[in-house]
């Protein structure tokens, strides 16, 4: 069944000097249990579209529906907190929290006792290939690829039904990439989540169940 639907979605960046139509009439559906890859040239609107799906921005026109209900009618914070987890292109880790606390954060927000949250987060961090001696460090004491994996672990602990990732393998070597792709695939196929990945990585596009191509803000076939 469709969990997420984009209907004629358009987004314009507006400032004093110009208007950029970054997403231009995109309609598509996303189902649970599937991995979607969004590919396309730099500047084609992929990140913008993902941020609309994530509820970080609101479409200029058109609607995004979760289980048939327009997200415009929902509280945006609760939509983001309860339904979506996002792995950002620039990781967006909390710099003042340790690696472990970053990964456990979605569970703290849900008021899980700290000890239990930390245990679950540690499990996910090990799963993405981080080592225990890194758990107490702050994000700026990790390499780019390691930070990316902390961001992925944080998405894993959140348990959201929608997992949106912007270039999740962009900073990883091929072995770590394969591991992450395998984890994301498992979340969709075994965990019945809906996984949407923006990527330039042919290895990711290859394993996707559905490939969506964007060009000039539009979906092309």
Ligand X SMILES: Nc1ncnc2c1ncn2[C@@H]1O[C@H](COP(=O)(O)OP(=O)(O)OP(=O)(O)O)[C@@H](O)[C@H]1O
Structure tokens at 214: 């964007």
Distance, in Å, from the CA atom of 38 to the CA atom of 194, rounded to the nearest integer, reads: 13
Query: 2, 47, 63, 82: which one contacts Mg ion (CB under 5 A)?
Result: 47
Q: Indicate the burial class of 184 (C-beta count within 10 angstroms; 0-12, 13-18, 19 or more).
A: buried
Nearer to Mg ion, 6 or 51 (CB): 51
Distance, in Å, from the CA atom of 82 to the CA atom of 211, rounded to the nearest integer, reads: 26
How near is the Cβ of 174 to Mg ion at its closest, in Å?
21
Which range, of 42-50, 60-68, 120-128, 147-155, touches ligand X by CB under 6 A?
42-50
Provide the mask over 2-31, with x wherever binding to ligand X is found by CB under 6 A and - wherever it is not.
-----------x------x-x---------
- 165 CB-near residues (< 8 Å, 6+ apart): 86, 87, 152, 155, 184, 195, 196, 197, 198
Which range, of 35-43, 59-67, 95-103, 187-195, touches ligand X by CB under 6 A?
35-43
Distance, in Å, from the CA atom of 158 to the CA atom of 83, rounded to the nearest integer, reads: 9
How near is the Cβ of 9 to ligand X at its closest, in Å?
13
How near is the Cβ of 208 to ligand X at its closest, in Å?
16
**Taking CB under 5 A as the rule, does residue 179 contact Mg ion?**
no
Query: 45, 55, 106, 168: which one contacts ligand X (CB under 6 A)?
Result: 45
30: which strand partners? 4
Distance, in Å, from the CA atom of 183 to the CA atom of 195, rounded to the nearest integer, reads: 11
Q: Choose from ligand X, Mg ion, none: what does 22 bind? Cβ within 5-8 Å by kind.
A: ligand X
Q: Name the site residues for ligand X (rule: CB under 6 A).
A: 13, 20, 22, 40, 42-48
């Amino acid at each position: 069944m469709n969990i997420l639907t984009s209907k004629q979605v358009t987004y314009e960046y507006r400032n004093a000097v110009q208007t950029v139509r970054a997403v231009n009439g995109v309609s598509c559906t996303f189902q649970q249990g599937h991995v979607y890859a969004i590919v396309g040239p730099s500047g084609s609107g992929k990140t913008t579209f993902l941020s609309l799906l994530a509820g970080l921005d609101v479409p200029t026109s058109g609607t995004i529906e979760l289980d048939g209900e327009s997200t415009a009618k929902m509280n945006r914070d609760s939509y983001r907190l309860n339904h979506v987890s996002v792995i950002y292109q620039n990781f967006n880790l909390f710099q003042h929290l340790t690696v472990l606390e970053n990964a456990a954060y979605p569970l703290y927000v849900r008021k899980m006792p700290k000890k239990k949250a930390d245990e679950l987060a540690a499990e996910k961090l090990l799963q993405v290939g981080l080592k225990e001696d890194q758990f107490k460090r702050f994000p700026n004491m990790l390499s780019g690829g390691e930070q990316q994996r902390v961001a992925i672990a944080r998405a894993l602990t959140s348990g959201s039904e929608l997992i949106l990732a912007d270039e999740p393998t962009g900073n990883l070597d091929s072995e770590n990439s394969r591991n992450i792709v395998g984890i994301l695939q498992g979340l969709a196929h075994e965990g019945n989540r809906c996984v949407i990945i923006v990527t330039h990585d042919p290895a990711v596009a290859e394993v996707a169940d559905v490939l969506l191509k964007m060009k000039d803000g539009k979906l092309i076939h």
